[in-house]
Amino acid sequence: MFRRLKYWIESARRSETLREELELHLAERAAELEADGMTADHARAEARRRFGNLGLKHEESREIWLTRFWSELGQDIRYGFRTMATNKAFSALAVLSLALGIGANTAIYSFMESILLRSLPVADPESLVVLNWHSQPPQGASKDWVHVVHSVSGLFWQGAKGAVVTGIFPYGAFETLREDNPVFSTLFGYVNGRNRTLSIRGQAMSVSAEYVSGEYFRGLAVSPAAGRLIGSEDDRPGAAAVAVISFATSQQRFGGPSNAIGQAILVDNVPFTVIGVAPPEFFGVDPAAAPGLYLPLHTNLLVDGPGTERIYRDGNHYWVEMMGRLRPGVSMAQAQAALAPRFHQWVASTAATDGERVKLPALLLHPGAAGLGSLRREYSKPLSVLLAMVGLILAITCANIANLLLARAAARRREMAVRLSLGAGRFRIVRQLLTESVMLASLGGAFGVLFAIWGVQSLTFLFSKGQENFTLHAELNWKVLAMTAALSVVCGLLFGLVPAIQSTRPDVIPELKISRGGGSRRRMQHVLVVAQIAMSFLILVAAGLFVQTLHKLHSVQLGYTRENILLFSLNARQAGHRDPEIATFYADLRKRFESIPGVNSATLSHASIISADRAGVTYRGPIKIGAVTVEGARVLVAGPRFLTTMQIPVLAGREIDDRDQPGSTPVAVISERLARTYFGNENPVGRRITFLDEKRDLEITGVSANLRHGSLKEESSMTVFVAASQISPGGMTYALRTTGDPLLYVRNVREIVREADSSIPLTKVVTQAAEIDRTISREVTFAKLCTGFAVLALLTACVGLYGTMSYSVARQVSEIGIRMALGAKRGAMIWMVLRRVLLLAAVGLAISVPVALGASRFVKSLLFGTQPNDPGILALAGTVLLGAAILAGYVPARRASRIDPLVALRHE
């Protein structure tokens, strides 16, 4: 049976044997001729002559066994193509679904790898440690608030059990931990410097900056692409203002790293000298942000003004992030044990009252090999869910192909039996069947590669949509691709082998006699169909949940208008404008924007409503009304006609307008919820609200309707609007309510800004609707992908169901014929087939409903306004699935009902 295979494997050795055999033959012939009286030489020559071309004959003999293998393979492949061509629809669907399965898996996994698993491109990333702290917010504090933290600039996120987690510390904590550190060889700090105006030879652009402590580059063990990197001597008050730029910036602005060294640049109008260029692969410590500019930490005194000095001394102001590199041999647990008490002691010393002493922050070390986790936090869960879904799809696909091959093998059982009885080798037939299934799988794999490439591109596009300088560059992971492709071939072999061996079982005689039967195979097929239905249900439920979430997010009442608003930002302070002139500058600009034809009204605020909380400048210090502390209010620094422009109703009093000037009475407008909470039914207009940190008393001039800040997932909050002219922050975001498409007005806006001051770049130009959509881009992406996957799963499962049913109808032709000859109605025949479909679907559902209920809890945190066990969605998914199953079963059922009893019986 395996002789041929053995021949092929042993072909080299056999070739040698053959040569020896031929030599012997020639020698014998020569010996004989010599005995007849020829000379030895002559005899040998004559022997050769008689034999013919020795090399050619050798080759011919060899070819007999070599080419047999290949020619048979060729036959198999040709035959395979013919079979595929005759079952075009089936083969195409099998290949397509396998390709989609492989492609989707590879693409999603490539993303997971680049987001979750890839290390920072620095030396020995494993020894890097990120320093965080966590704390339960004290009783009575707003959810993300810890009393000892008076003011912050940086991000907080939700840890386990509602704890607040963050990586930002006061500068004092950084210094304390840095001093004779027993566990870290270096401890370095960094601060997100946000976007700055970088001017080079009079050309301004907006670039993201990172303030880094003197040990930053040494700690990360990064070598410069040119020049030198920032060192400890550069990070001191009064040191020369030097900067390191990213490789990309050096290429964009200087035409190469070496040209940039020693060049003078302006960062927000402050002169710096470029001393070095970071290496091309370096993107800082956060894979989500790639700074274009690195500045020594202490230069924020120059850029942000001398007032910044206060935050170095303030132990209650949190703003520095840090990372350490473990000394050789020190474990993270040891580092945690050594540093936690030191931090505790320090942070306890910053608490002034008993109230502040409750629930102090506690140090928490995390592995830093993959850098900061902002992307990981946001995407790890969604990606795992997606990976589970595409894994299920691949499983459905495999089940489908197994089913297809089983059905086909069964249909060809007679063919096989005939061939076997005519003397075809069993191995030969198995091999041919295997060739076919491997062909299907390989074709699927090949298309899978294409899908994977396309998938990675479109996923990058989907994920990055709406995010400024999205830096995540997922590359197609060839290792994963190779694995999935290998998997597909293994699938082909495995699923091909069982039916192949079955259909060539030696009991060919009974098979020739009776054409029905194969009960075990049918059971197997039914198991596969049930599994497919169960898996499809899971995917459908997931898709339903995410689509519902998206729907809920879209129908959230914002409290302000979404449409026809153009937003853009500019920063006059960075261009050198100073108080008090800056207030007039902003006010004049607003008036000029308002006079653009087609602009109904224009206003400004320190940030857009969506990004107000992330705008860096936070006015979140304690607010009091009389003796009562206001908890959880958000402050929006807004210019005249803000409520009008945003179409937020004014419920009492008046909104902020042109009367509120730098010199006049400081005013505030509060939202209805704030008014109700602190004033009950009293009219708050004319009352006062106090900002403790700034020692400002503001007079309440109006009450607005409620609005939602930031994320759509949050409740509408208590808002305090403060007059921009009386606060004068750095940058401003303008909002224009326009007639028609807001983006049509961008040109006018640019014109006006250029006229006013050509050194101010316009940034963050976006429509309000787009900005809102951006906050739910993850959900949008997710819902789209899930819906796509659900359609794919449903389609694949239906193909499987259809295949199984039409096959089983084909096998029941004579039975149906007999029944109909005996008077069975067509409807009864349809019902007979459909009943089986429904039964299979019901079993599948019965299995998967509890699984879905259990599994959906894991996606709870990704949902909004939707319960993970939403009965409506479960019912809908079940209905869709049953509908699809009936559809897939109806076609073969109808075919069954059309069977002509006479033809059917003759068919036997």
Partner 1 sequence: MGRKAQKNDSLPGSLDMLILRTLSLRDLHGYGIVQFIQQSSDNELLVEEGSLYPALQRLELNGWIDGVWGVTSNNRRARIYTITAAGRKQLAVETRQYAKLTLAIARVMGTE
**Contact residues for partner 1, defined by CB under 8 A:** 3-4, 7, 17-18, 20-22, 24-25, 27-29, 50-54, 56-58, 60-65, 67-68
Tell me the closest approach of the beta carbon of residue 39 to partner 1, in angstroms.
Answer: 20
Distance of closest approach, residue 789 Cβ to partner 1, in angstroms: 51
The distance of closest approach from Cβ of residue 49 to partner 1 in the complex, given in angstroms and rounded to an integer, is 10
> What's 693-718 look like in SS3?
CCCEEEEEEEEECCECCCCCCCCCEE
User: Of 258 and 421, which has the nearer Cβ to partner 1?
Assistant: 421
As measured in angstroms, the least distance from the Cβ of 51 to partner 1 is 5
| Nearer residue to partner 1 within complex by CB, 13 or 747 | 13
Nearer to partner 1, 47 or 530 (CB): 47
How far is residue 690's CA from residue 746's CA, in Å, rounded to a whole number?
38
Peptide bond connecting 367 to the previous residue in cis, omega within 30 degrees of 0 = no
Q: How far apart are CA 105 and CA 99, in angstroms?
A: 10
> How far is the C-alpha of 621 from the C-alpha of 153, rounded, in Å?
12
User: Closest separation between CB of residue 433 and partner 1, Å?
Assistant: 22
DSSP three-state, residue 767 = strand
Count of other CB atoms within 10 angstroms of residue 594: 17
- We find the least distance from the C-beta atom of residue 476 to partner 1, in angstroms, to be 45
Place of tokens 């239905």: 533
Rounded to the nearest whole angstrom, what is the least distance from the CB of residue 422 to partner 1 in the complex?
14
| Smallest distance from partner 1 to CB 75, Å | 16
Structural contact between residues 714 and 772, judged by C-beta atoms closer than 8 angstroms: no
Q: How far apart are CA 177 and CA 580, in angstroms?
A: 41
Q: Is 857 exposed, middle or buried (0-12, 13-18, 19+ CB in 10 A)?
A: exposed
Q: Would you say 16 or 714 has its CB closer to partner 1?
A: 16
Is the Cβ of residue 54 or residue 163 nearer to partner 1 in the bound state? Answer: 54
Q: How far is the CB of 509 from partner 1 (least distance, A)?
A: 20
E strand residue ranges, 330-420: 362-367
Give whichever of 60 and 124 is closer to partner 1, judged by the CB atom: 60
Residue 192's identity, in one-letter code, is: N
Contacts of residue 266, defined as CB under 8 A and 6 or more positions apart, other chains included, come to 197, 198, 199, 200, 272
What DSSP line would sit under 549-617, residue for residue? HHHHHHT---SS--SSEEEEEEESGGGT--TTHHHHHHHHHHHHHHTSTTEEEEEEESS-TTTGGGSS-
Q: What is the Cα–Cα distance from 306 to 882, expressed in whole angstroms?
A: 70
Nearest-CA neighbor of 305 among 693, 576, 605? 576
CA 367, distance to chain mean position in Å, is 21
DSSP 138: P
Minimum CB distance to partner 1 smaller for 57 or for 687: 57
Q: 24 or 348, CB closer to partner 1?
A: 24
CB of 429 to partner 1, least distance (A): 17
Nearer to partner 1 (CB atom), residue 67 or residue 273:
67
Residue whose CB is less far from partner 1, 17 or 664: 17
Instruction: Tell me the C-alpha distance between 147 and 481, whole Å.
Output: 51
Least distance in Å: CB of 3 to partner 1?
A: 7
Nearer to partner 1, 41 or 63 (CB): 63
Cβ 907 to partner 1 shortest distance, Å = 36
Give residue 46's region: left, alpha or beta (phi > 0; psi -120 to 50): alpha
Q: For residue 334, what are its two tokens? A: 């040891």
Query: Cα separation of 789 and 545, whole Å?
Result: 13
CA distance 890 to 829: 11
Contact, 269 vs 576, CB < 8 A? yes
The residue with tokens 């007079």 is: 699
7 vs 890, beta carbon nearer partner 1: 7
Beta carbon nearer to partner 1, 14 or 359: 14
Report CA-CA distances (Å) from 274 to 226, 229, 241. Answer: 10, 10, 9
Where does 283-373 have alpha helices with state H?
300-303, 309-313, 332-349, 354-357
Q: Which residue from 627, 641, 665 is spatially nearest to 587, judged by alpha carbons? A: 641
What separation in angstroms does the CA of 474 have from each of 114, 117, 289, 467, 776?
Answer: 6, 12, 14, 16, 21
Number of other CB atoms surrounding residue 352 within 10 Å: 13
Cβ distance to partner 1 smaller for residue 63 or 699: 63
- Residue 9 CB, shortest distance to partner 1, in Å, is 14
Closer CB to partner 1, residue 2 or residue 329? Answer: 2
In the bound state with partner 1, the residue whose beta carbon lies nearer, of 50 and 578, is 50
